[in-house]
Structure 1
């Protein structure tokens, strides 16, 4: 007779790389049985393969998680291959009869989890899934008619009124993992780039401790000025939590709780905390939308936008990716992204708008570039935010809203500190012309040592002409572009 209490539990880590406030881990520990903490790098059957910047972050986050587990008597079992096959293999090797995980909510993952759970139960293995990544599971926040919300404000109101706050549990003191089975060597996975190593300037501290530190710094220095300050890329007023949330190194409920507690203690105003909580809510909104409308990962949420006459222009797209459009704020953002794996939220909007509106290049091309270059690349947030900018998404910006990158720079980087950091060839240009160097007198350019063309490009397109072209293209679409034109505009969507 097999002693059921001695059979191990598989704890399948996925987008929840933390020990604190982790409902799947808590459930596994509560069994009192040995635990097999598992991470599977699935290169093929996990939907879209991870981008290069995400793999860089994942490498460090997995190492940090393994170190934390080892401090508690456990270790992280690493496997690479088909997720379902590797999970079945570990169950067969160990005799485990329970798999516990925090659910993923991407469309392919939802379907795949259901198939895996069905197969395991057919083999006598129990499957438990929990919500460790969102404030509420998709399907829990619905209209009175039982339908998914398509507008953010009522979604957020219902979410905050009805979602059950996580318990905020501490990391367990002990996580016992048997010496067997063996696991892969993460060094052999090649997640960190080599030949060349382009990650030397990447920013952030992957792992649970890094997430806690980022939150503490934000609460101390950034949250008090969050509502206004978050739009200025030269300030440290954003949370920088997006990659930590993407990898589940911190729970969204912890971020919400601590922001609210800071307000209750009088450290910040309630309005500042509420604004930050709303941005966490937007992250949920994106995930819920993608779960309910999986087609939006590849097609326009508003179908009339599928007829958009996009341009195919490799040269313009390359100029955008390399930060060589001739518009300093756009170029600064794209260079920051390439150098650090992250871009300021306001600048993400301006850069994305420039691609889809000024250059009339398909939002899917930009979304794919962000997917590969962002350490916080999240399918739901990436797709939702790009479609919002393009005007094709749920609760999207009005189709006629076209950011002027020069005015955006003058408003949100008035002294040019952000541009000077990331576009150093313009560093000596006076503030008056820093966001429109093509308009500077020849003597000013000469004194600053700037030659337009050889040193810094002239604009790839003139703003007025680009705006006229974009509006003409948008007006060729069905009347639906105007039906929802007055949706309340949202601003930065990444917390």
Structure 2
């Protein structure tokens, strides 16, 4: 049986500038590219019409076509990763398995389990840094402890950046093994086609040049829309940082926030279930289920909140400025546990990433590292006046404003809710 190497695709669904794949293709042996539809993850998704599954399924079909000039294509499994590799080890003579590292708690555990099995089976394992510029642990304070405040982390990140960190790799040669089966269909996975259409991600230079001035205005639709591409690795982080360095320091800061939250999650995994600042776990949340339901449906009587939630429900996307407003409203105006909101976002956001979702929700609730202070409470009406003064964004998502306000009276009065939040937070922080 001919020896082969395997490249395991995960959150890096592209040929362009893929570090691990580059090394696999240059290894001197034929490469079998593998993707595992992980039952452990897919079984947790509620909706059979999940746009994210459809997105990465389409990305895999595109990837499969891109691999054909190298003589092969993708071999897919619908199983647990460990079971999939047990089958591979049985059916192929494998020299080395290549993959790019991931930093979420489940991924770390999964990779340890698979690596232990492979090494026991006498198979070599090589992993690479690909989805970040700096891995958690590369940017540390002088005393070698992790940063818990963004600004000094960002400063150190920029100081450490060298040209080699953003050099792209290009696959010029190598041979792929032809898989013995076709890619699993969406139906075979238990999912349905949605309205999402995968396109090869592109960076809009004009958007970046105007990013600082336009990014806070949801009606302008002036954000990169690359969140889902970064989430599934259909675009390279090095490509994004290169463009940001050239055209937008503000967008570069957003990309650094992503890595900041990743290293927080790795160094402080308790944040998944607990407030980063432990004393904030003492907050007596009201957790009114009727009010939470109104928030979810966009029926709070606050225009920007309702528009944002309706955008999320309809599209799986929400403008970042609006995300801050709706998250602050849930945690502070309604005094509903930020974890409820975080879980709701996790079920719908196209660009859902555990580290960023958790970090941003804790930021909005005031419970996280480097968070907005608890006494900073967005006034949703003032936010609308400032960032959607012509009601263009709001009208798009809620239709006729007068009809909406007649139908949905504000579920709380801002000043009363603000006062209540300050009292509840102060009580917990005594």
Taking structure 2 as the reference length, the TM-score comes to 0.94
Tell me what 2:93 maps to. 95
**Cα deviations by residue, 1:107-160 (Å, 9 ceiling, x for unpaired):** 232233223223211211011110111111111111100101000111111112
After superposition, where does 1:368-407 map in structure 2 within 5 Å? Answer: 368-407=343-382
Matched residue, 1:186: 185
Q: Pick from 251, 270, 274: which aligns with 1:276?
A: 251
CA–CA distance in 1 between the matches of 2:369 and 2:378?
19
Matched, 1:476 2:430: no
Residue 225 of structure 1: aligned partner: 210
CA 1:166/1:193 → structure 2, altered by over 3 Å: closer, same or farther?
A: same
Figure out how many residues of one structure are paired with residues of the other and give that number.
426
Contact 1:327 1:406 in 2 (8 A): yes
Deviation per CA, 1:336-377, whole angstroms, max 9, x where unpaired?
111111110100000111111111111111111111111111
Structure 1 window deviating more from structure 2 (140-149 vs 252-261): it is 252-261
| 2:18 alignment partner in structure 1 | 22
What secondary structure does 2:210 align onto?
Answer: helix
- Compared CA separation, residues 46 and 11, structure 1 to 2 (3 A): farther
Q: Is contact 1:45–1:82 with CA below 8 Å preserved after alignment?
A: no
What's the CA shift for 1:193?
Answer: 3.4
- Where does 1:63-102 land on structure 2 (aligned, <5 Å)? 63-102=61-100
Match of 1:206 in 2: 198
Deviations 1:306-343 (A, max 9, x none): 11111222211111111111111111111111111111
User: 2:261 maps to what in 1?
Assistant: 286
The SS at the match of 1:384 is helix
Superposition map of 1:244-323 within 5 A: 244-261=229-246, 263=247, 273-323=248-298
TM-aligned CA distance change 1:421 to 1:46, over 3 Å: closer
1:229 to partner: Cα distance: 0.9
CA distance in 2, matches of 1:71, 1:474: 60
Contact (CA 8 Å) 1:93, 1:181: kept in 2 or not? Answer: no
Q: Distance in 2 between matches of 1:48 and 1:137?
A: 28
Distance 1:191 1:249, change over 3 A: farther
**Aligned partners of 1:156, 1:244: CA distance in 2, in Å?**
23
**Conserved 8 A contact 2:45-2:347:** no
Gaps of 5+ in 1: 264-272, 427-444, 480-495
Task: Tell me the distance in 1 between the aligned counterparts of 2:161 and 2:29.
Answer: 31
Kindly state the Cα deviation for residue 45 of structure 1 after the two structures are TM-superposed.
Answer: 6.7
Q: Which residue of 2 aligns with 1:243?
A: 228
Preserved contact between residue 307 and residue 394 of structure 2 (Cα < 8 Å): yes
Q: Which secondary structure state, in structure 2, belongs to the residue aligned with residue 96 of structure 1?
A: strand
Equivalent position SS for 1:90? helix
The residue matched to 2:306 in structure 1 has which SS?
helix
Deviation at 1:71, TM superposition (A): 4.4
Sort the Cα spacing of 1:50 and 1:394 in 2 relative to 1 into closer, same or farther, 3 A: farther
Pick closer, same or farther for the CA change 1:191–1:462 going to 2, 3 Å: farther
In 2, distance between residues paired with 1:8 and 1:158?
A: 41
Q: If the length of structure 1 is used for normalisation, what is the TM-score? A: 0.82
1:458 has 2:409 as partner: yes
Question: Is the 1:370–1:377 Cα contact (8 Å) retained in structure 2?
Answer: yes
Q: CA deviation at 1:472?
A: 1.0
* C-alpha displacement of 1:174: 5.1
Task: State whether residues 97 and 123 of structure 2, in contact with CA within 8 Å, keep that contact through their aligned partners in structure 1.
Answer: yes
* Distance in 2 separating the partners of 1:153 and 1:355: 26
Q: Is the 8 A contact 1:55 1:191 kept in 2?
A: no
Report SS of the residue matched to 1:44. helix
Summarize the Cα distance change of 1:246–1:163 in structure 2 as closer, same or farther, 3 Å threshold: same
In the TM superposition, residue 294 of structure 1 has moved relative to its aligned partner by: 0.7
Q: CA deviation at 1:461?
A: 1.1
Instruction: Report the aligned-residue RMSD.
Output: 2.1
Q: Is the Cα contact below 8 Å between 1:73 and 1:175 reproduced in 2?
A: no
After superposition, the Cα gap between the structure-2 partners of 1:35 and 1:53, relative to the gap in structure 1 and judged at 3 Å, is same
What SS does structure 2 have at the residue aligned with 1:475?
helix
